[in-house]
Chain A
Amino acid sequence: DSGVTQTPKHLITATGQRVTLRCSPRSGDLSVYWYQQSLDQGLQFLIHYYNGEERAKGNILERFSAQQFPDLHSELNLSSLELGDSALYFCASSEGQGNSPLHFGNGTRLTVT
Chain B
Amino acid sequence: AQKVTQAQTEISVVEKEDVTLDCVYETRDTTYYLFWYKQPPSGELVFLIRRNSFDEQNEISGRYSWNFQKSTSSFNFTITASQVVDSAVYFCALSDHNYGQNFVFGPGTRLSVLP
Chain A residues within 8 Å of B, Cβ to Cβ: 2, 31, 33, 35, 42-43, 45, 48, 50, 55-56, 88, 90, 92, 94, 96-104, 106-107
Shortest distance in angstroms between B95's beta carbon and chain A's nearest beta carbon?
Answer: 5
Given contacts A98-B97, A98-B98, A99-B33, contact A45 B104 (CB under 8 A): yes
Q: How many residues of B contact A (CB 8 A)?
A: 28
A24 and B43 alpha carbons, distance in the complex (Å): 19
Given contacts A42-B107, A45-B105, contact A98 B99 (CB under 8 A): yes
A42 and B104 alpha carbons, distance in the complex (Å): 11
Chain B residues within 8 Å of A, Cβ to Cβ: 31-33, 35, 37, 43-47, 50, 52, 91, 93, 95-108
A87 and B33 alpha carbons, distance in the complex (Å): 28
CB < 8 Å: which of B33, B50, B101, B107 contacts A48?
Answer: B101
